[in-house]
Structure 1
C-alpha cells in the first residue's frame, strides 16, 4: 500500500496539478516541502470533520431570527414568547433552507480559496458573526435592529466594500494596526457571547434563561413547565429536563474527552450522538414529538438523502433601508469591523501555521486573492440568506495533518458539497445537540485572554470592557464600541498629560504599555500595487528576491513514508494560540 501511495503521489506531483499547487517533486521553484496528494486529501477530510458542525449550528442560530417569516400575531412579542404553529412551520422551512445554504457557500468558498489562492484554509459562515446577525441585528424572532431582508443587504454591501479594501491593501493594514489587546479581547468576548447562547434555550441546552429580579436565572425545566411569557421555570422543576442532561454529558463532556485524546471530528461526533439519541419518537428526549410540528419534522427527516432547494431565503434582500438607515449603518459598520478582526486574523494565523508568511512584509502569499475570495463569498452568501462567511480557525486541524496547499481546502469544499444532499439529517439536529459545541468553541476562543497585556491599565481596561460588555449586553457591537472608545480616551489622555507636563507626569509603568504604531512593516499598499506604482509592467508577478515565502519547518513523515517538513506551530492573530480543533 505504501508503495502504491508513493507512486500516486509522485505521479500527481509531476503533473500539471502538482506544478500548479507546488507539490513536492513538481519541480516548481517554490514547491512546498512535504506537500503530497494523499497528505492533502487526509488534511482536507480532517478540516471538514473539524468544522462540519457549522452546517447544523449556523442553521439553528440564524433560524432563531425567524428569517423572512411573518408573524401572524398582532404583535412581534407574541411570536417571541408563544409562537403560532404556522409561524413555527415557516421557521422550520427557513432552517432547512439554511442547512443547504450553509453547506453550499462553505463548499463554494473553500473550493475557490484552494483553487485560486492555493492556501489550505476552509471558509464557512462564521461563528460569532452569525450570532450577532441573528440575535442583535435581526433579533430573536425578528425583535432586533432591522428586518432579516434589510440585514442581508448590509452583509451584501459589506462583501463588496471588503473587495475594495482588499485591492487597496487597507484591510490588511487595518488588521495589523488595531491594538493587539483589543484584537485579542474581541475573540474572548465573542467566545463568552457564544457560551451564553449555548447555555440558553434558543440554540443551546436550556440551562439558563432571562429573569426579572436578576439578569439571568437557572432554568433546565421541560418545555411544558416554562412560563409562556417569561420562559422561567418553577423551582421544583429546575434542572430536570432530560434533553439538557443529554446535551451536557454527551454533547459537552464526552466531546471534551474526545478532544483531549485528539480524536478527529470529536465535535461532530458529539453532535451526532446527541442527535441519534433524540431521533426515536416515543421517548422523553425526542426531537419529533407526536404533534403537528413534530410530524412535519419527522416527514422531512425520513427522506434522509435529498436535495432541499433554497426557497424561502434565496435573494430576499430589501434595499429600501430608509426606515432603518441609522441602525442599518451600525450593523454594516459592525459587520465590517468584526469581520476584519475575525477573518483577517484567522487568515494570518493559519498562513503562519502553514509556513506561508513573508517575515519581511508580514504578509502571506496570494493574500489579495485570499481576501477577495472571502469578500466575494460574503456577498454571494447573503444572496442565499446567510450571515458573513469567514475563514475558519478549525483549518488548523487540516494543517496539523500536513496540509500545505490549496488541495486541502478543495477537498474540504467537496465534502461540504456532498453534505448538501444530506439536508434532512443536518436539519434534524436539535438545539441541545449543538449547545455544548457553542460552549466548547467559546472556551477555545477564550484562550487568547492570557496574551492580553494585563500589566498596563491603558491596555487592560479597554480589553476587559470589550470582553465583558459583549455577553452582558448581548451585543458584539456594544463590546467593540466600549473597548475602542475607552482605549482612545485613556491613552490619548495619558499622552496629552505627558505632553503638557513635559514628560514629568506619566504612569509609573508606562514602559509596559504595548507598542502601537500605524506604520506597519511592508507598508499599507499590497505587493501588487507596490509593484504597479514602482513601474513594473508585469506587476501581477512576484519579485522572488523580496516576496519569497519564509518557511519555518519541523521534520514529519508523509503518507509515502519519507521524511518531509511541516510548518512550525506559531500563531499571530486575534484568536491566537491553538484555537483549532483536532
Structure 2
C-alpha cells in the first residue's frame, strides 16, 4: 500500500467515525454529507487559511498598541510621549499583550465557527476597524475621542447588539438597506485609510509625515533627524534604511511572490524584513542599544514563551456619562462596518464553497455563524481587541478544498499554537508590516470598478465616502458623508419628479442602481419562519427544504484572484466581494456543484 492508499483509507476511517458524521464528510452516511470532502483535505485547507492570515497577529498588535492602551500619557506632553522612555516601555508591554490577545481570540472564534457552524471560515480582529479603533476612537497615544477603556466597552456592547440583530433577522436587512455603491465605496475608502497608515512612521514604513503648509509631505528620514514638528530636513528625506528595507523586501518581494501565486506570500515578506531587522548593531535593527531596545530584545530572546495578558484584560469602563456622543459615534460605526463586513464575507465564502441554497438563499449554519461572530466580538473586547469579523482569506483554504468546520478548527488550533510564540510576533517591526497595509489597500481598491459611476446620484456619494475616510482619518465620517449625501440628492430628485409628474428627470436616470429595503422572503430569519410554522426541527437550516446531499465544495476561483492575491484581503476588504452586491446576495453566481473536481488528498 502506497502513501495515497494509506491516505485514502485514513480518510474513509475518519469519515465513518463520529467525527466524519459530525462534520458531514463524504462517506460518513449523513443524509446531508458534503460530497468531495475528506479529512486530510480539510487539514491542508486549514493550514492554508492560517498561513494566509497569520500576519494579522503582528499587524493588529502593532496598530492597536499605537493607541497606548491603558498607558497614561500626560495631556501636556509636547510629543504625545514619544520621547518618554517609561511610557514607551508601557506601550511595548501593551503590544505583547495584544499579540497574545489577537492569537487567543482568533483561535477561540475560528475554532467555534468550525465546531458549531461547520463552516470553513476563520475569524480575527478586523483590519480597518482596528485602525479606526486605534487612530480615531482612542487616538494615537490616547489623543482621540475616548479612552481605551471606554472604546473596548463600545465593542463589548456592540457584540451583544449583534446577537439581538441576528436572532431577529435584522442584520441582513440592515446590510441590504445601504445602497450598493456606498457599500463598495466603504471597502475602497478603508483601503486608502490603511494605505495612509502603512505610509506613516507609527505603523508603517515612514514615507510620509505631517506638514505645516500642507496636510502631508514626503519624509523617509531617520528619527534623530526630525525637528520638533516631526518634519524631515530636505537633505535627509528618503534616506532611512528601514524604509527601503520595507519597500523592497516587504513590498516588491511580496508582490512578486503574489504575482507568481506563491501561497503565504505576505508571511514571507514580513519574515524577510523581520529577520533582517533582528540582529543588533546594524542600521536597520529593531533593537537599538537603548532601555526600550534592551527590553524588547530580552523578550525576543525567549522565542517560545507564554505571555499572559497583563494590562488590557477586562478593563471596560462603564461610566460613559462624559463620552455620550463620542461613545455613540464609535458604537454605530463599529456596528455598521461589522454588519457589512461579516455579512458580506460569510455569504461570499459560503457561495465559494458551494454552501448557498439556491431556493432559500441561506447557507447551512448561517444563524450559528452570525452568533459565533457576535459573541466573539464581545469576548474579544474583554481581551482588549477591536471587533472580530470573518476573513476573506478563508478563500485560500476553500480553494484548497476546505468545505467543513474541520478546516476552521485546524486554523483555530494553529492560532492557539501561535500564542506560545508571542516573543517572535511581538518583535516584528512596523516597517515589516507597512507595505502589507499598502498591498491590502490596493486589493481593496479594486471594488471601485464595480461602483455605479454612470449615474452621478450614485457616484458622488460613493466618491465622498472614499475620499473622506483617509482625509479625515475616520471611517465614521466617510460613512456619514456618503449616506447623508445619498439621501439628500436622491430625495430632492424624487420630490422634483413627483412635483413635475415625471416630466423633469435627471440625465442618465436610467442608469441609477436599483435600491430596496425589502428582502426576498421577508425580514424574519429562516429559523423563526420555520418555528412559526410549528416545525419541530426549526433550528435546522434545511428543515423546510428537501435535499439529499450538500453541494460539492468549491475548488479554485474562476475569473477571480489567485490564492496569492486572496491572502492579502482583510476582512474590511469583504466589501469588494459579491457578498456586498445585490446580485450575490440574491445568488447570481453558479453553485459549487458546478465547479471543477476536487482532489481527494
Question: Per the alignment, in what secondary structure is the counterpart of residue 389 of structure 2?
Answer: strand
Question: Per the alignment, in what secondary structure is the counterpart of residue 517 of structure 1?
Answer: coil
Query: Can you list the C-alpha shifts for 1:545-573, whole angstroms capped at 9, x where unaligned?
Result: 537599776996xxxxxxxxx78778996
Q: Which residue of 1 aligns with 2:481?
A: 482
Are 2:79 and 1:50 aligned? Answer: no
**Following the alignment from structure 2 to structure 1, what is the Cα–Cα distance between the partners of residues 229 and 349?**
44
**Following the alignment from structure 1 to structure 2, what is the Cα–Cα distance between the partners of residues 420 and 123?**
16
Deviation at 1:190, TM superposition (A): 0.3
Q: Which residue of 2 aligns with 1:209?
A: 209
**Following the alignment from structure 1 to structure 2, what is the Cα–Cα distance between the partners of residues 500 and 578?**
37
**Following the alignment from structure 1 to structure 2, what is the Cα–Cα distance between the partners of residues 386 and 445?**
23
Alignment CA distance shift 1:574-1:185 (3 Å)? same
Coordinate RMSD, CA, aligned: 2.0
Q: Which residue of 2 aligns with 1:124?
A: 124
Question: Per the alignment, in what secondary structure is the counterpart of residue 78 of structure 1?
Answer: coil
Matches within 5 A, 1:313-392: 313-392=312-391
**Following the alignment from structure 1 to structure 2, what is the Cα–Cα distance between the partners of residues 541 and 567?**
29
Q: How many residues align?
A: 567
Alignment CA distance shift 1:377-1:76 (3 Å)? farther
Are 2:156 and 1:164 aligned? Answer: no
Q: Which residue of 2 aligns with 1:184?
A: 184
Alignment CA distance shift 1:98-1:549 (3 Å)? farther
Alignment CA distance shift 1:241-1:56 (3 Å)? same
Question: Per the alignment, in what secondary structure is the counterpart of residue 217 of structure 1?
Answer: strand
Matches within 5 A, 1:496-515: 496-515=495-514
**Following the alignment from structure 2 to structure 1, what is the Cα–Cα distance between the partners of residues 549 and 241?**
53
Query: Can you list the C-alpha shifts for 1:270-328, whole angstroms capped at 9, x where unaligned?
Result: 10110000000010000000111100000000000000000010111111111111111
Are 2:13 and 1:11 aligned? Answer: yes
Q: Which residue of 2 aligns with 1:433?
A: 432
**Following the alignment from structure 2 to structure 1, what is the Cα–Cα distance between the partners of residues 520 and 574?**
16
**Following the alignment from structure 2 to structure 1, what is the Cα–Cα distance between the partners of residues 557 and 546?**
18
Alignment CA distance shift 1:297-1:164 (3 Å)? same
Deviation at 1:347, TM superposition (A): 1.1
Match of 1:21 among 20, 23, 39: 23
Q: Which residue of 1 aligns with 2:491?
A: 492
**Following the alignment from structure 1 to structure 2, what is the Cα–Cα distance between the partners of residues 360 and 574?**
24
CA contact (8 A) 2:71 2:90 kept: yes
**Following the alignment from structure 1 to structure 2, what is the Cα–Cα distance between the partners of residues 170 and 520?**
10
**Following the alignment from structure 2 to structure 1, what is the Cα–Cα distance between the partners of residues 170 and 76?**
41
Deviation at 1:345, TM superposition (A): 1.1
CA contact (8 A) 1:355 1:550 kept: no
Are 2:96 and 1:96 aligned? Answer: yes
Matches within 5 A, 1:37-436: 37-71=39-73, 73=74, 75-80=75-80, 82-227=82-227, 229-436=228-435
Alignment CA distance shift 1:543-1:420 (3 Å)? closer
Deviation at 1:77, TM superposition (A): 4.1
Deviation at 1:538, TM superposition (A): 3.2
Q: How high is the TM-score relative to the length of structure 1?
A: 0.94
CA contact (8 A) 2:191 2:440 kept: yes
Alignment CA distance shift 1:350-1:497 (3 Å)? same
Question: Unpaired runs of 5+ in structure 2?
Answer: 562-572, 581-601
Tell me whether 23-32 or 403-412 shows the greater mean CA deviation.
23-32
**Following the alignment from structure 1 to structure 2, what is the Cα–Cα distance between the partners of residues 454 and 32?**
41
Tell me whether 538-547 or 137-146 shows the greater mean CA deviation.
538-547
Alignment CA distance shift 1:238-1:520 (3 Å)? same
Q: How high is the TM-score relative to the length of structure 2?
A: 0.91
Deviation at 1:365, TM superposition (A): 1.5
Deviation at 1:15, TM superposition (A): 1.1
Question: Per the alignment, in what secondary structure is the counterpart of residue 344 of structure 2?
Answer: helix
Question: Unpaired runs of 5+ in structure 1?
Answer: 557-565
**Following the alignment from structure 1 to structure 2, what is the Cα–Cα distance between the partners of residues 33 and 41?**
16
CA contact (8 A) 1:303 1:424 kept: yes
CA contact (8 A) 1:346 1:392 kept: yes
**Following the alignment from structure 1 to structure 2, what is the Cα–Cα distance between the partners of residues 349 and 318?**
36
Deviation at 1:361, TM superposition (A): 3.2
